[in-house]
Amino acid sequence: MNQIELKYGCNPNQKPSRIYMADGSELPVTVLNGRPGYINFLDALNSWQLVKELKEALGMPCAASFKHVSPTSAALGLKLSDRLKRSCFVDDIEGLDDSPLACAYARARGTDRMSSYGDFIALSDRCDITTAKLIKREVSDGVIAPSYDEEALELLKSKKKGNYNIIQIDENYECVPIETKMVYGITFEQGHNFMKISDDLFNDIVTQNKDLPDEAKRDLIVSLITLKYTQSNSVCYAYDGQAIGVGAGQQSRIHCTRLSGNKADTWFLRMHDKVLNLPFRKELGRADRDNVIDAYINRNEEDVCENWEKYFTYRPDPLTQSEIREYLDSLSGVSLGSDAFFPFGDNIERAHRSGVSYVAQPGGSIRDDNVIKTCDQYDMVMCFTGIRLFHH
């Protein structure tokens, strides 16, 4: 098949819509179920590139959760701690520890659950039944993977009353070196971004502290590959083999750092004892719990603690600002990547408040000395990669 007709373009009034190979060759994707739309395929193809590259770089199964052409998270298939399982609402999934792919998606989906609501999923490996069971019970638009176990495929086909979007991609497909894009009837052309992300990028350590452990290198690779497929400007916090906060599409870099830092803080705070032990009513669904947790963490007490009967079996104690600060101040070992240079040290100041110890950024600002000095103030390790990772 050399073309696929889509429901419509970005909006229902934008018809006709299709994807096709300009040279008339066969498409590398097959729709196994559903009828994906224009944005679905943008998410699918961008997220597939991310997980494919992440697996090639780190040699592990991985998954990504995408919304509106940016990842909410990407993660490696590492086992989850008991606290993280509870935070991600996956402590009841049987066989989770035996499926690295399911662990990867549990992490990716569990990072920013509010943003991942209605996501598009990318899997680096053959979808197994455990991963399919996890996908089946969450609200999402579709999934792309190189293949599916028969049992997993049948389960996914039953999702959304049989209309769930399931895409299979040829894992050996390689794109052409020159890509084009049309805007307002004008065609743009550029070389595809084949830049490889590896720990070779971390050799230029510009701070006094030059101790960069292997786990930090891994997390910086996760961060930078995630940024490579995130709408710019973008900043990404990573920890324990996953992106824990992605700030995408902001015009100001400090706003990227704040946005992604706040998301990273929420990810950590979901594992706070008070949050893990919130006395939810049994009938309250996962999506509603996510909304309540977000309000509780952000101290919206009028919605949560003051109206506790809607959500809880008894009124919980609020999570105070001093408790939040004490908890976050105990954190360290977080990695931070940026798709372009940090122009001011205020980005480092904000990153420090979320436990960042390791930074990778291109360098090249006229204020690099100020950014380095701020890192040294907090004994951080910072690398200048020399590469920009804008994506539009």
Among 256, 260, 254, which Cα is nearest to 343's?
254
Distances from the Cα of 101 to the Cαs of 127, 234, 252, in angstroms?
8, 26, 35
The full length of the chain comes to: 392
Beta bridge partners of 351: none
- In the set 33, 40, 233, 347, the catalytic residue is 233
Note if 391 is an active site residue. no
- In the set 55, 67, 85, 263, the catalytic residue is 67
What is the C-alpha to C-alpha distance for residues 116 and 289, in angstroms, rounded to an integer? Answer: 14
Q: Are 227 and 234 in contact (CB under 8 A)?
A: yes
Note if 68 is an active site residue. yes
What is the C-alpha to C-alpha distance for residues 108 and 234, in angstroms, rounded to an integer? Answer: 18
Token readout for 125 is 């490996």
Note if 165 is an active site residue. no
Note if 272 is an active site residue. no
Phi and psi for 256 in degrees, rounded to 5?
-60, -45
Token readout for 280 is 């939810």
Among 275, 228, 186, 182, which Cα is nearest to 47's?
228
What is the C-alpha to C-alpha distance for residues 90 and 82, in angstroms, rounded to an integer? Answer: 9
Token readout for 121 is 């999923």
What is the C-alpha to C-alpha distance for residues 175 and 188, in angstroms, rounded to an integer? Answer: 17
Q: What residues act catalytically?
A: 67-68, 233, 392
